[in-house]
Amino acid sequence: MKKLLKIVLIIFPLFGFCQTWNQLSDFSGDGRHHPITFGNDEYGFVISGSYLDDVYKYDKANDSWVQLQDIPFSGRGYSYGVAVGNKAYIGFGSTSNGQYPVDWWEYDMDNDVWNQKSNFPGDGRQHPAMIVVNNKIYMGCGGNGNGNLGDWWEYDVLTDIWIQKSDLIANERHHPFYFGIDDYAYVGFGHGSNPGPTGSNIYNDFYKYDPTNDSWTQMANFSSEGRVAGTQFSYNGKGYILSGDGDDHLPLSSGEFWEYNPLNDSWNQLQSHPGGAIWAPGNFVIGCNVYFLLGQDWNTNIGIYPTSVYSYKLSEGTSSYDTLSVIGSILWNGMPLNLSGDYSVTLINSVGCDSIVNLNLTVTTTGISDIGNNTSNLVKMIDMLGQETPYRKNTPLFYIYDDGTVEKKIIIE
């Protein structure tokens, strides 16, 4: 006897997706420049900046801030941190008395616990590049009392060991823009001691680092003016730079927002953030939203510290509608179902956005319900891994038809 379970699956973007900036609840602490910012799947974090020693956590679920325990080291300015899973790694910068510390710290975001790791063996510095690639952290450039730097280092999270790598193949610089995409680190822009491609000491050049062979490649120069002292992040295979100063080290004409596509080495300008450009702001990404905050606003020549927080949706969520007929009961997304009806659950998709899954379920107690025959032409069958396959019994398969319909069938014998 054969029993047929049939799902008609339709997936489309959620209605109302619009890439605009939205203002959220203000940051609850003091304004600051060069905050250390990072996030995980649920929370964003703000640590130190402007030589402060406080820590704050943002909860996206209720748009609220809570203060956590202070950092266990001296307050920092011009310092950075990056997240690897639910741990963050933090260091460098300068202290209020002009020191350039080399201590290095691990922060457990889940438990609000700090652990000191191996000190950095090179020169201390402020506003370096710091990038995660394949669970290793790459750090370099920056500056200290001796000038700008162009060295490059690798930190292994598992072994707690620093190793020096090949220097950046360009002018030494501090406060560059940087991000990691897939297996590569990208570094560029920033402020150096010598003129760059445009004749300014604030650059628009851009480079890719390959950790597998410790090599650098120069990419196309940025098509607009050089820039420095903004913030940056990566998301879903692309890199982003946001706000900062232009090639005269004055605020950009707006809070410019650019997206980098490594597939064709190109930049695309997105909507500027509200207000004027901000010097030394921060950001964190939660789900498919970036949150932009803090820094110093020099557009009025006063140097105010904004506490406004803005979010921008980087990609759209999806919604799927399934029609399923079963005998007896089914376990669906962790829920045991034994009654006919409509069901819905919100999941997180592969790029961190909400994915709303809806199910129209028909439950029969005896026999097999008549589902009907698809009159379209079958193009191919694929398995759960997306690989084309011939018919197999007792195995869930996706049937793809020439009209775009996708059916998931399990024929049990």
- Which residue stretches of 231-321 are H helix? none
pLDDT tens figures, 385-412: 667 888 776 677 777 777 767 677 665 4
- 9 bridge partner residues: 322, 406
Where does the pLDDT of residue 7 fall: very low under 50, low under 70, confident under 90, or very high at 90 and above? very low
158: left (phi over 0), alpha (psi -120 to 50) or beta: alpha
User: What does pLDDT average to over the chain?
Assistant: 88
Q: 112-142 pLDDT, tens per residue?
A: 999 999 999 999 999 999 999 999 999 999 9
Beta bridge partners, 279, equal: 296
Which residues on neighbouring strands pair with residue 285, listed in sequence order?
Answer: 290
Residue 120: the pLDDT is 98
Domains contained in the chain, CATH given: 3-14+317-412 (no CATH), 21-313 (2.120.10.80)
Q: Which among 18, 16, 21 has a CA at the least distance from the CA of 271?
A: 21
Q: How does residue 4 score in pLDDT terms, banded at 50, 70 and 90?
A: very low
Nearest-angstrom CA–CA distance, 162 and 98:
24
Under 8 Å between Cβ of 281 and 231: yes
Measured distance CA(187)–CA(169) in Å, rounded: 11
Residue 207 contacts residue 169 (beta carbons within 8 Å): yes
- 371 CB contacts (<8 Å, ≥6 apart)? 4, 6, 325
Category of 301 on φ-ψ map: left (φ > 0), alpha (ψ -120 to 50) or beta: left
